[in-house]
Amino acid sequence: MANSFVTLKTIARQALPRLIDNLVFPNLVYRDFSEELHDVGDTVRVRRPTTFTAEEFSAETGVNYQDMNDDVVDVTLDHLATVDARASAIETATCIDDLNRAFVEPAAAALAEKINRDGLKLYADIPYATGTAGTTPGTLADLSDVRRMLNENRAPQIGRVAVWDTEADAKLTQLPAIVNAEKSGSTLALREGSLGRVYGIDHYMSQSVVKHETGITTATAVKVGSAVSAGAISLSIKGTALTGKLVRGDLMKIAGKTYTVIEDSAPAASNAIASVKVYPALPALSENTDVALIGAHTANLAFHPMAFAYVTRPLANPDGQGVQSYVTSFNGISLRVTKGYDQRYKRTTYSMDVLYGFKTVYPELAVRALG
């Protein structure tokens, strides 16, 4: 006979480990959590990990003290991922022992997929890029280029990670230097289909890596529209057949340096866009400087954990007659499970949800590996 006394506490405590096991991106970045109850749309202040600069000691001038006070950044809890399901009274009575299989496991997997996808969308904040748009990374040189750019940006060597899409992962795990144990020193790629640690970077695969679609696809001979002063964060562009608009996450290369578009531009008019906001700040540029718009690409990411923050807070228990809920948290991840009853359709309802937000903290500690 089915066990009708399974509690929400039991369900939640079974679900949270399954959610954590399916998470990729949030498990690799800086996490912030507190027990304060919040709701979707709230903004919380999060400490940004402190960084220091090492200097040469001078006996004449002494030391230069650096503040240990953490900077703070505002993070909006703008995501409420939820999975909601219902079952008839008969199904609930006879299948409660299978609730783990029928609801908990697939719901946890679905939540993890959404959370991973939302986090990996932070690629749009990252201007530093390697590889060729439209060409899947699949060589040791591709991995070496990622390492080179992290080195150039002075990313700490300890803790570096990379998240690849399924196509890049499939190609990279076939490299003889990685598969052959006598060359790599490990059979992990052959046994588990995992890259493991290569070139000082721990590599992971996620089906949630984002494919970036550019806003402008046909323009040619694109140039700076008018002179730009050093330190500016916007510019105008013009070109042949320049139609549509630039969208957040588009990349452009100017004078050998790559920039990311930080918000959608207005649509082009008369083959020109009057203002495009970019990161990082621009150098002094003259009118008619060439601008290369980088095409659509898969946004694989390599980064140090301090590049991004994942912030989660527990949700309050909902008010309502006949509604039960339980909130559980572990290791910076919070999950709420709610049980209700749909009187009209005579069905028990279950809901599993997570409140969270993401923030790019140190964009210079991350690299897009274009695919």
Q: What is the pLDDT along the chain (371 residues), one digit of tens a residue?
A: 344 446 788 888 889 999 998 999 999 999 888 778 888 889 888 877 666 677 776 677 777 876 766 678 888 999 999 999 887 654 665 555 677 788 888 999 999 999 999 999 999 999 999 999 999 999 999 999 999 999 999 999 999 999 999 999 999 988 887 766 434 455 444 434 457 788 899 999 999 999 999 999 889 999 999 999 999 999 999 999 999 999 999 999 999 999 999 999 999 999 999 999 999 999 999 999 999 999 999 999 999 999 999 999 998 888 666 788 899 998 888 999 998 888 787 788 889 999 999 999 999 999 999 99
Check: CB of residue 49 under 8 Å from CB of residue 69.
no
- Structure token pair of residue 232: 């500016």
Token pair 């749009």 is at which residue?
124
Tell me the C-alpha distance between 141 and 152, whole Å.
16
Buried b (16+ CB within 10 A) or exposed e, 70-84: eeebebebebebbbe
DSSP 220: E
pTM for the model stands at 0.86
Report the alpha-carbon angle 213-219-225, nearest 5. Answer: 110
pLDDT at site 193: 41
Q: Which domains does the chain have, with CATH numbers?
A: 1-49+73-211+298-371 (3.90.1690), 214-295 (2.40.30.290)
pLDDT at site 70: 64
32 dihedral zone (left: phi>0; alpha: psi -120 to 50; beta): beta
187 dihedral zone (left: phi>0; alpha: psi -120 to 50; beta): alpha
pLDDT at site 183: 46
Which residues lie closer than 8 Å to 185 by C-beta, 6 or more apart? none
Check: CB of residue 310 under 8 Å from CB of residue 297.
no
Check: CB of residue 43 under 8 Å from CB of residue 74.
yes
- If we measure between CA atoms, which residue out of 122, 110, 166 comes closest to residue 30? 122
Q: Are strands 71-76 and 43-48 parallel, antiparallel or unpaired?
A: antiparallel
Beta bridge partners of 358: 310
pLDDT at site 6: 63
Burial class (CB in 10 A: 0-12, 13-18, 19+), 244: middle
